[in-house]
Chains A and B, each alone.
Chain A
Amino acid sequence: SQQGEEDPQALSIQEGENATMNCSYKTSINNLQWYRQNSGRGLVHLILIRSNEREKHSGRLRVTLDTSKKSSSLLITASRAADTASYFCATDTGANSKLTFGKGITLSVRP
Chain B
Amino acid sequence: DGGITQSPKYLFRKEGQNVTLSCEQNLNHDAMYWYRQDPGQGLRLIYYSQIVNDFQKGDIAEGYSVSREKKESFPLTVTSAQKNPTAFYLCASSNGRYQPQHFGDGTRLSIL
Footprint of B on A, CB under 8 Å?
Answer: 1-2, 4, 30-31, 33, 40-45, 48, 50, 88, 92, 94, 96-104
The answer on a CB contact under 8 Å between B59 and A97 is no
Q: A45-B100, A45-B102, A92-B98 are in contact. Are A101 and B48 (CB under 8 A)?
A: no
Measured in the bound complex, the distance between the Cα atoms of B96 and A94 in whole Å is: 11
Query: B103: which A residues are within 8 A, CB to CB?
Result: 42-44
Flag whether B22 is at the interface (Cβ < 8 A): no
The answer on a CB contact under 8 Å between A42 and B42 is no
Q: In the complex, which residues 26-45 of chain B have their Cβ closer than 8 Å to any Cβ of chain A? A: 31, 33, 35, 40-45
Footprint of A on B, CB under 8 Å?
Answer: 4, 6, 31, 33, 35, 40-45, 48, 50, 56, 58-59, 90, 92, 94, 96-106, 108
The answer on a CB contact under 8 Å between A33 and B100 is yes
Measured in the bound complex, the distance between the Cα atoms of B108 and A2 in whole Å is: 22
